[in-house]
Structure 1
Amino acid sequence: MRIKKTILNFMKEKAYKPITAEELLEVFEIPEKDKNMFLEVLAKMESEGSIIKNRKECYGVPERMNLIVGRLQGHSKGFGFLIPDNPEQEDVYINFKDLNGAMHDDRVVVRLTSKKSGKRLSGEVIKILERANQQIVGTYEDSDNFGFVVPDDSRISHDVFVPKSESKGAKEGQKVIVKITSWPEKSRNPEGKVIEVLGHKDDPGVDIEAIIRKLELPADFPAEVMEMVSEIPEEIPEDEKKRRKDLRDVKMVTIDGEDAKDYDDAVSIVNLEGDKVRLGVHIADVTHYVRPGTVLDEEARKRGTSIYLVDRVIPMLPEKLSNNLCSLRSNVERLAMSVLMDFDLETGELLDYEMTESIIEVNHRLTYNKVNKILMKEDEELISEYQDVVEKLKLMTQLSTKLKEIRSERGSVDFDFSEINVILDEDGKPIDIVKAERGVAEKLIEDFMIKTNEVVAEAMYDREIPFIYRVHEQPNMEKLTDLNEFLHNLGYHIKGLKEEVHPKALQTVLNKVEGEPEEKVVSTVLLRTMQQAHYHIQNIGHFGLASDCYSHFTSPIRRYPDLMIHRIIKEVINQQSLSKQRREELESNLFSIADHCSIQERKAMDAELESKDLKKVEYMKDKIGQEYIGVISSVMPFGFFVELDNGIEGLVHVSTLLDDYYHYHEDKYAFIGERTANIYKLGDEIKIEISKVDLAERQIDLEVVTD
């Protein structure tokens, strides 16, 4: 809204001092008939945190009042960090006593203190703008007169008090959903009532169900959404085909995993004159079917992302769309958003590009496995079967290599970790743990998608279009200093470490340790140093990719930010520009969309990891007494974690090291024996035995095997 922008600009002026609502009405000469509307705007801005009302009922902007607005990230030890709305502001440490009832993921206003905690800026929560945890999933603990629910999410540090009358008959050890009825205060836990009992924590299926319910998303879509989807015609109208760029004659393929069901991207490549090629990245046009303001759009926005648990998928869109109408199946006409990019094949330089609505028809559904066999093993049978695209795949590989070289040269940080997959039987029991290695095909698609995301973001940024960017801040300086001390112990160091660091300095370290025994441990510690990427309306670049401008454009079937920016791009390419009213509408709405999608993404990632870790522990429960070789992957004051070759981690508690008294050396990431000077340090290879597997705690205990 224009009035919001006018108010903010006025309050940001250097001479402005906080004034009351009545004074603001006079300043802006608001007529009597518009008085209530203006006051409603002020109240809305205050609830959003864009302006603050102080104790004297005067309004001002947070940054002029020593305040920061953002979202609270809780920690299992009770303290938290404020992640500011403005990505250029430093995270703020908040001691437990200064949380003042705020909980993980709440939107809050924090007053900065004059002191720092260690090297970190610190502050105190003075206002809670939005509560994130209306319901909590946890384990019920019973007593004679009352009960407590211990949250599954360790970042929620408060147990929830439950009166006996509100327990819904829950028993000790049962997983429940509790609704908060009274929020925590400085010396009081939150109170709640049990609204659903999921079953005992050890009952089959309850663990995964608890993970799902923690997301507060039903597995099934509402009836009104399914009714709307059922009415969507399968046939593409002829007038829709005619108005789009016709790319049905362009040879193109999808390349996905073996078990993929939703194919949202296809790729094509054609030779141009003078050692130039045109790469086409064609993305399913989900926005044609998911129109803004519909119940289908509202549900997709609420979910924010598809969630890939170890045994199921909770999709963002109903199956008719995700696996059918919006899925780029082979030999079927589909609507797409195509980005056609011309490159100099010798240098990898982008020469020109076009973004367009298109009609396409994929020729082949290829898999990573098949393409890797064609390109890396020259599989004669597959080469014969796909002879019409083999040369194009080779050309794509050539271009992919160039794009990767350019990205590497500018300093993109490449973590080459293998993905760990848990194989389940028909009953959902884990029967194997396998590493999914990345081959040429996986890297090829990754390179093309990264480049497309950059091109799209840069195009909108240059046009100054309100947009959702994928941003990634540089690592916290304190963490970088700690990382450099750790690297120094191994004989490495980060060059140019002052007020900020260039990503190339980190990639240089990764290049130096490549092939060395400490490669994995250095990569792991470096990854833990990095910030978490998220969505924002302010473009601050993507540190990890060393990209000045980045977005998520390539997966609108499973990510709402992609779907949203498809809408914006379609408006721009069809209208050439956006009206002032539309710009203001986007500016007013995009932040809340980006913020919500960042939260949903974090929840989904946590749930995916949690479900996988759960099955990893279950896989090891019959391996007690077996011996393995592993690598020390993390060192804590209470012991060290060892990662086995299959990606599973277990804990060696310091109390089990009986041959000496061991001291924890934080600076060396090690335990050192007092008498023997024996050392267990990060990165060491070690033989261990599985001593205990606790499914409830999802923990594997190990003991060192000494020869």
Structure 2
Amino acid sequence: MSKKKDKKEKKAGKRMTKKELAKMLQDFFHAKQGEILSLKYIFEALKLTTHPLKMLCMDILSEMKEDDYITETEKHRYRLNTHGIEMTGVFQRKSNGKNSFLPDDGGEPIFIAERNSSHAMNNDRVRIAFYAKRRGKGAEGEVIEILQRANDTIVGTLEVNKGYAFLLTENRTLANDVFIPKDKLKGGKSGDKAVVKIVEWPERAKNPIGQVIDILGKAGENTAEMHAILAEYGLPYVYPASVEKAADRIPAEIPAEEIARREDFRDVTTFTIDPKDAKDFDDALSIRQLKNGLWEVGVHIADVTHYVPEGGIIDKEAEKRATSVYLVDRTIPMLPERLCNFICSLRPDEEKLAYSVIFNLNENAEVVDSRVVHTVIKSNRRFTYEEAQQVIETGQGDYKDEILQLNKLAKLLREKRFVAGAINFDRYEVKFEIDEKGKPVSVYFKISKDANKLIEEFMLLANRTVAERIGIVPKGKKPKVFPYRIHDLPDPDKLDNLAQFIARFGYKLRTTGSKADVSKSINHLLDDIQGKKEENLIETVSIRAMQKARYSTHNIGHYGLAFEYYTHFTSPIRRYPDMIVHRLLTKYLDQHGRTVSEKKYEALCGHCSEMEQVAANAERSSIKYKQVEFMTERLGQVYDGVISGVTEWGLYVELNENKCEGMVPIRDLDDDYYEFDEKNYCLRGRRTNRTYSLGDAITIRVARANLEKKQLDFALVD
């Protein structure tokens, strides 16, 4: 080793001034531009072996972060901030004027004051210029160009005056109402719900100018409000007539030559189990005992892609929608009704085309053999979940032997999943009984029972088997491009926060160790809280610690299910990714087809993940609307609840009786000046030291119900 190098090593290992180390760190980050560097790697690469040097390094990294020189992408992982004077990204508008800009490179959000927003709308793609950073303050910028409008339509209620009109917006992203010239009203009257397109926003004008493109109906009318929710999320509320016509031309009869090409399951006992209000039966199960004592279980899925050619008018519409949307009182289907409720739906006593995964299982529910084949089936019976549950509980009823055997196998499959480290979130769903006018008359909770779990287990098995068929390849071979359903490990920081939060209720959580160790610890926690008053709350906080599942061609496995390979194959009537999976599976299995473009399919996966999220938000919005509508008739009534959220503007409270959530605004906590303690999820009174914490039991009175804003206000009852 050269003396010069030896000296340098000694210097790094021994003493070094702050200035010298800061220079070394700067050079190091520039040499590794674009890479994410862990603290451990920095210590090793710069040979910072002593405790004082490591502490000094952390101080300097902290200052570099403060000066926006580097970004901490996650705990103790850093990257050089290479942004110059200008950046491109997405603009996010807030009605309080605290707008922000999310850079394309995934760095920290940048504050954009309203005066510097150039009237950019929510989710517009923009270019911004940076302002010089002030010490100790966040980065700030100004929009200099709007590159692409995200959505130039907005939903609200019309207020029509003599010479002009306004659209009053309940949208939380726009602080100003939209001005509408009289000749652009499209016949709209005061009190109408309308969709308005923003045509311009003059530089000095306070209000954008718009024109009405659709009248949805009177505010407060059920259909108008449901359509308004769909329009607000950019979702379609009508089906294009041209697509409906194309579906009407599809023949329902199955030609004899098509049946001859398929495996025939028409004489095997087969049935569907679905919610009582379902019309689109995606999946059916068949079961029979083989001569060798094994059980043959068929998971039969509607063969949608047989009827919907790729790139055709129906397919393009389905791709755009990417999913069916389930609002409280209606389904907005991905496919035209003729296909989803009639031709493709696996209705009883009708011959149907299916794409099936056939399993041979032994008495221990071990898969001895499986195959994926195109089939023709004929369902013997349509069960609702309640009917199938009755058979399981009483041992009596139609096809009792088959249902009881399937249930036995499903329970063994489920057990194995949890041993492997799957996470058991058994959430209940809040549902409304609705009258013919769409008015909510009562609330009930939908709980997952054995009949639901039976179906779930075989769908999971089919999805996993299909993913493994394509994903597992001989050593040295590259798997073909395929959409997987992936789920990443929980965020370590969020897991730590969860562990701290549950400690105050007396629970423990393991946050380090193998995947299985952590998930077993989470399951243990979920078992411990069963039936306790904090159950729903801790489940909610636990779910927040989890990542969201999504679609991708890059498989990283599914953490929550503890599967290394997983996809969506079992719901092609209502999910576009399943249609993609059916097509690629056919291509790869039948023709040993060449792989497809990764770039194209990754973009499709991204679109489907995004639309799934939009649909979930619209669904939540419709539930929220019905909750507020339900509580409007209960103003002044007193309820017990639990604090379900704590923010600087007030307390969110979930009522025990019906799970409706409302807010106690901070202005109504007038007995003290309350400070928000984010780390401990609580508000604390400065003078009295009184605290309101997440999970506390609380009694409230229903004070106000605002349907426009889908907002309930509660008042505390001492």
Give the TM-score range, shorter chain.
0.7 to 0.9
Unpaired stretches in structure 2, ≥5 consecutive residues: 1-30, 35-79, 474-478
2:604 alignment counterpart: 593
Is the alpha carbon distance of 1:657 and 1:486 closer, same or farther for their aligned partners in structure 2, counting shifts above 3 Å? same
Partner of 1:687, secondary structure, is strand
- For the 8 Å contact 1:91–1:121, the answer to whether it is kept is no
Mapped to 2, the partners of 1:499 and 1:82 lie a distance apart of 33
Match of 2:400 in 1: 390
* Contact 1:160/1:191 (8 A) holds in 2: no
Distance 1:90 1:503 in 2: 28
Q: Residues 528 and 697 from structure 1, CA distance in 2 versus in 1: closer, same or farther, beyond 3 angstroms?
A: same
1:683 paired residue number = 695
**Mapping 1:471-486, distance limit 5 Å:** 471-486=486-501
Q: Map 1:587-666 onto structure 2 (within 5 A).
A: 587-644=598-655, 645-657=657-669, 662-666=674-678
> What is the Cα deviation at residue 549 of structure 1?
2.3
Q: Distance in 2 between matches of 1:460 and 1:488?
A: 43
Are 1:488 and 2:503 matched, yes or no? Answer: yes
The structural deviation recorded for 1:91 is 7.5
Q: 1:369 to 1:673 in 2, by over 3 A?
A: same
SS of 1:270's partner is strand
User: How many angstroms does 1:555 deviate by?
Assistant: 0.8
Does the alignment pair 1:286 with 2:296? no
Alpha-carbon distance in structure 2 between the residues aligned to 1:142 and 1:110: 37
**Matches of 2:386 and 2:340, distance apart in 1:** 23
Aligned to 1:554: 570
Q: Distance between the aligned counterparts of 2:464 and 2:140, measured in 1?
A: 35
- Return the offset for 1:82: 5.2
Q: Which residue of 1 aligns with 2:536?
A: 520
Query: Of the candidates 524, 530, 539, which is equivalent to residue 508 of structure 1?
Result: 524
Q: Counterpart of 2:400 in 1: which secondary structure?
A: helix
**Deviation sequence 1:179-235 (CA, Å, 0-9, x none):** 243589999986643333445544564322211323445444333222222221121
* Separation (CA, whole Å) in 2 of partners of 1:608 and 1:559: 16
Determine the C-alpha separation between the residues in 2 that align with 1:184 and 1:505. Answer: 57
Q: Do the aligned residues in 2 keep the contact of 1:282 with 1:339 (CA within 8 Å)? A: yes
- Secondary structure of the corresponding residue to residue 539 of structure 2: helix
CA change 1:221–1:519 in 2 (3 A) is closer
- Of 549, 555, 565, which aligns to 1:533? 549
TM-score, length basis structure 2: 0.77
2: CA distance, partners of 1:273 / 1:256: 31
Q: Which has the higher contact order (CA 8 A, sep 6+)?
A: 1
Q: Is residue 145–residue 163 contact of structure 1 (8 Å, CA) maintained in 2?
A: no
The equivalent of 2:444 in structure 1 is 434
Change (3 A) 1:105 1:444: farther
1:66·1:112 contact (CA, 8 Å) conserved in 2? no
Residues 427, 172 of structure 1: alpha-carbon distance in 2 compared, 3 angstrom cutoff: closer
Question: Is the counterpart of residue 230 in structure 1 residue 242 in structure 2?
Answer: no
Pairwise CA distance, 1:319: 1.6
Query: Structure 1 residues 179 and 403, CA, compared in 2 at 3 Å: closer, same or farther?
Result: same
- Identity of matched residues, %: 39
Equivalent residue for 1:567? 583
The structural deviation recorded for 1:363 is 1.2
Q: Which moved more, 1:674-683 or 1:325-334?
A: 674-683
Task: Return the match for 1:322 from 340, 352, 357.
Answer: 340
Letter in 1 for 2:620: L
Q: 1:359 aligns with which of 376, 382, 388?
A: 376
CA RMSD, 1 decimal: 4.0
- Relative to structure 1, the CA distance from residue 349 to residue 140 in structure 2 (aligned partners, 3 Å threshold; closer, same or farther) is same
Shift of 1:158: 6.4
Equivalent residue number for residue 247 of structure 1: 265
In the TM superposition, what whole-angstrom CA distance separates every residue of 1:596-645 from its partner, at most 9, and x where no partner exists? 22232222212222112111111111111222222221122222122122
| Separation in 1, partners of 2:343, 2:532 | 48
3-state SS in 2 of match to 1:490: coil
Deviation at 1:676, TM superposition (A): 5.3
- Choose 1 or 2 for highest CA Rg: 2
CA distance in 1, matches of 2:130, 2:418: 39
Matched residue, 2:432: 422
TM-score by length of 1: 0.78
Call closer, same or farther: CA 1:271–1:132 in 2, change over 3 Å.
Answer: farther
Match of 1:93 in 2: 109
For the residues of structure 1 that align with 2:130 and 2:540, how far apart are their CA atoms?
Answer: 33
More displaced, 448-457 or 531-540? 531-540
Name which of structure 1's ranges 327-336 and 634-643 shifts more when overlaid on structure 2: 634-643
**Alignment map for 1:127-206 (pairs within 5 Å):** 131-139=149-157, 152-154=170-172, 156-157=173-174, 159=176, 162=179, 164=181, 168=185, 175-182=193-200, 192-198=210-216, 201-202=219-220, 205-206=223-224
